[in-house]
Structure 1
Amino acid sequence: MAELTGRIALVTGGGRGIGRSVALSLASAGADVAVTARSAKELDETAAAIRALGRRAEAIVCDVSERTQVDAMVARVKAALGDPLILVNNAGIAASAKLTDTTDEMWDRMLRVNASGAFYCTRAVLPLMLAAKWGRIVNMASVAGRAGAPYIAAYTASKHALLGLTRAVAAEVASRGITVNAVCPGYVDTEMTDASAANIVKRTGRTEEDARKILEGFSPQGRLMTAPEVAAMTTYLCSDVARGINGQGIVLDGGALQS
């Protein structure tokens, strides 16, 4: 198991789904954890679960697409817990539309949350990591960051951008004790995948059960990935034993996308 005792982590999008699983996994490994998202209720629930594990927690409402909110949020984390030397950029949104139906607002919002949000958070905490000569950044990308897919052009572009950011920053700080990696899940059994299933039902008229089978069929294992699986990989990447892994986009999809 990864050992993170004494570390302070910041997890964006930490109110539910993958983000909550990551936050709890990091806490189980010994880290104190700050979580941020746009829903105070969900954040408070995650923070309470972290404290139940015996770790300190801070819940902060923040829209990562707004730079000023990010800077204020990081300052609050520092004041409450200390310097966050682990950053998990998990906050993200998804939407499906034909390219010709993709609005400017949809495109801009997708890029601002999924790519710019990670940039703002990384830029805010990186000086702390450089000063400490140690840091771990894990960006929650997607298999859509590794290959194109129809009807999700904005989402795919945003995740490709996130993977590019991962590789560029990894190369920049590799000699400074900092690693930067991305985790690229396939369909994960979360609320976001529930929304994807609902979209299939709406577009095709199929049943919800059929829609979930379609999504499960994207994996050769015939199943959805789970949030704890993604969290376990993320936690490993944040540990000292993973210090040789840098600039990678690690796919978790049961073998559908092989590189």
Structure 2
Amino acid sequence: MQVGLEGRVALVTGGGRGIGAATARLLAEAGARVVVAARSADEIEAVAQEIRRTGASAEAAVCDVSDPEAVARLRATAEARFGAVDILVANAGIASSAPLSRVELAEWNRLFAVNATGPFLCAQAFVPGMVARRWGRILHIASIAGRTGAPYIAAYASTKHALVGLTRSLAAELADKGITVNALCPGYVDTPMTDHSVDRIVARAGVTAETAREKLVAANPQRRLITAEEVAFLVVMLCDERARGVNGQTLGIDGGGFLG
């Protein structure tokens, strides 16, 4: 079965590496013209060039999704290059961990600005065009932390629960307008963000990096880290016209780590 996205324009935030880069590549492979957005110009340009070398169309656009003016510029760049955006993958995210007593308000606000306000601003920017065309796909890359909780991640988990709430509310609001909105909730993925999680465990617990990584692997009943390509695959599948009945869902990609 092939997913055909020819003629569609996709935008991926946090597209310079990890899940975002894998998603940009797979959307392009399915035929979409892709705007790769993130704060790192070098990373997104490398991804865009890789896509263009395959003969597909891609544009790199620097953007801090927590900045309303930057998101407005992102929309202008995308529309000037490829036209109106049909597919929005809100993947940009940051993480940190600390006991509640050590979570500074500034850090709480920093995580919410990127992980929750960013997708909200992107939705405000791109949903009107989708409504006008009566077709759109919005994919929020959340986390297993958006379906449950764990020690030391009160701030991070709260941002992902907020993102799930945004997903469900937008799905209900836009269901009769040809737009679907879903959240993907991966477990630990083999990406630089998980590498940072390993570093934090090493620093906090005084264990080796190998032991720390084994702890994360053990959270998946399949005893492995999820790959970025697995998440990207589900994103692309949900963009297909045959997936239009899937709306307002939080879809786990965690090997069965959360059953509910």
TM-score (normalised: structure 1): 0.99
Per-residue deviation, residues 36-89 of structure 1 (Å, max 9, x unmatched): 101000010010111122221111111000011101111110001111110000
Mapping of residues 200-219 of structure 1, within 5 Å: 200-219=201-220
Task: Tell me which residue corresponds to 2:93.
Answer: 92
Task: Tell me which residue corresponds to 2:193.
Answer: 192
CA distance in structure 2 between the aligned counterparts of 1:95 and 1:228, rounded to whole angstroms: 24
Mapping of residues 93-242 of structure 1, within 5 Å: 93-242=94-243
CA distance in structure 1 between the aligned counterparts of 2:80 and 2:94, rounded to whole angstroms: 29
Do residues 257 (structure 1) and 258 (structure 2) align?
Answer: yes
Confirm or deny: 8 A CA contact 1:142 1:185 kept in the other structure: yes
| Secondary structure at the counterpart of residue 115 of structure 1 | helix
CA distance in structure 1 between the aligned counterparts of 2:145 and 2:195, rounded to whole angstroms: 17
CA distance in structure 2 between the aligned counterparts of 1:157 and 1:204, rounded to whole angstroms: 24
Task: Tell me which residue corresponds to 2:244.
Answer: 243
Task: Tell me which residue corresponds to 1:75.
Answer: 76
Per-residue deviation, residues 69-127 of structure 1 (Å, max 9, x unmatched): 10111111000111111000000000011111000111001001000000000110001
- CA RMSD after TM alignment: 0.6
Structure 1 runs of 4+ off > 4 angstroms? Answer: none
Deviation, 1:221, is 0.4
Deviation, 1:203, is 1.1
Confirm or deny: 8 A CA contact 1:27 1:53 kept in the other structure: no
CA distance in structure 2 between the aligned counterparts of 1:161 and 1:218, rounded to whole angstroms: 23
| Secondary structure at the counterpart of residue 92 of structure 2 | coil
Task: Tell me which residue corresponds to 1:50.
Answer: 51
Deviation, 1:3, is 1.3
Task: Tell me which residue corresponds to 1:60.
Answer: 61
TM-score (normalised: structure 2): 0.99
CA distance in structure 2 between the aligned counterparts of 1:49 and 1:131, rounded to whole angstroms: 32
Percent identity of paired positions between Structure 1 and Structure 2: 54
Deviation, 1:176, is 0.9
| Secondary structure at the counterpart of residue 207 of structure 2 | coil
CA distance in structure 1 between the aligned counterparts of 2:75 and 2:24, rounded to whole angstroms: 16
Deviation, 1:161, is 0.3
Confirm or deny: 8 A CA contact 1:6 1:30 kept in the other structure: yes
| Secondary structure at the counterpart of residue 140 of structure 2 | strand
Structure 2, unpaired ranges of 5+: none
Confirm or deny: 8 A CA contact 1:5 1:30 kept in the other structure: yes
Mapping of residues 14-29 of structure 1, within 5 Å: 14-29=15-30
Q: Which amino acid aligns with 2:9?
A: I
Deviation, 1:162, is 0.3
Q: Aligned residues, how many? A: 259
CA distance in structure 2 between the aligned counterparts of 1:125 and 1:65, rounded to whole angstroms: 15
Per-residue deviation, residues 3-36 of structure 1 (Å, max 9, x unmatched): 1111000000000010000000100100000011
Deviation, 1:226, is 0.3
